[in-house]
Amino acid sequence: MKILRTPKELQAYRKDLRGSVGFVPTMGALHKGHLSLIEKSVAQNDHTIVSIFVNPTQFLPGEDFEKYPRRYEADKKICELAGVDALFMPEASAIYEKDEVLIKAPSQKGYVLEGHFRPGHFDGVLQVVNKLLHLANPHRAYFGKKDAQQLFLIQKMVREFFMDTQIVPCEIVRDDDGLALSSRNLYLSPEERQKALLIPKSLKRAAKLIQSGVIKTSSLKEQMLQILRPLKVEYVEIVDRKFDAIDDIRIGDSIILVAAYVGQTRLIDNIWI
Ligand code: AMP
């Protein structure tokens, strides 16, 4: 497996590749969620490039940029074993210049839900994903449904900028107890982890209620908030696949999203109905 440190190295490596290229951008501290994206890319492409970059521009002041877990040696091994061909691990100084040309997330869909509570977060996400897609120039790029709004906005950017990459959405990977895997789960104490299970529990309850015929999103949200009461909830929202709020569930076109703090740790999760 090649380790690439600079945009120049990645571009030179990419130039010589023949056949299809899959790309999996991550912030590292890799877990089975990331691995599922990587495995899909390895299965579907002749070459797979993974990036590990804790992107400073998508963290707001006061967020966890400094303490975000960095586990480069373990990550390298995971990638190597999974059959990754090249790992791109740049320094921020190699990616960003001063006073850059900026990409702005759309003023509506980029500033609701996650974008409301983390204003500017998606500007940073799109800025870096735009750069990474240009560098890796992949046929396919893999993103988790765990970050549903991010996935939506990246699909939108790729379409609107006429980029020649297929965005492949990947299912959410959960621990046996139901908690969606996240690098931030490393912050949780054993007690907090138990408490965090209320999040998947609330989503499962909503899915069950929908199965039993409840379709009013206001009733579903109310029931979920009951379950989530011990947590500091930022939002429980139900949207369609275009991220417009909806009054009634439409099977095959609805996403139920939660963001909540468990102690100091902010977690997000969702299910696609
Ligand atoms: P991150 O390192 O958190 O930026 O995530 C990198 C990619 O992995 C993103 O496309 C995430 O949506 C995806 N991802 C993170 N956690 C999971 C999970 N539990 N299941 C599936 N995909 C995930």
pLDDT tens-digit series, residues 147-198: 999 999 999 999 999 999 999 999 999 999 999 999 999 999 999 999 999 9
* Residues in the ligand 1 pocket, defined by CB under 6 Å: 26-27, 33-34, 36-37, 143-144, 146-147, 170, 172-173, 180-183
For the CA of 145, the nearest atom of ligand 1: 12
Active site residues per annotation: 34
Q: Give the H/E segment covering residue 88.
A: strand 86-88
CA dist 13 and 159 (Å) reads 26
| Nearest residue to 27 (alpha-carbon basis) of 82, 60, 64 | 64
For position 42, what pLDDT does the model report? 99
Enumerate domains of the chain plus CATH numbers: 2-170 (3.40.50.620), 183-272 (3.30.1300.10)
For position 194, what pLDDT does the model report? 98
For position 183, what pLDDT does the model report? 97
CA dist 31 and 19 (Å) reads 28
pTM score: 0.98
Residue ranges in the chain whose pLDDT is less than 70:
none
For position 24, what pLDDT does the model report? 99
Ligand 1 pocket test: pick from 50, 140, 145, 146 the residue with the most ligand atoms within 8 Å of its Cβ: 146
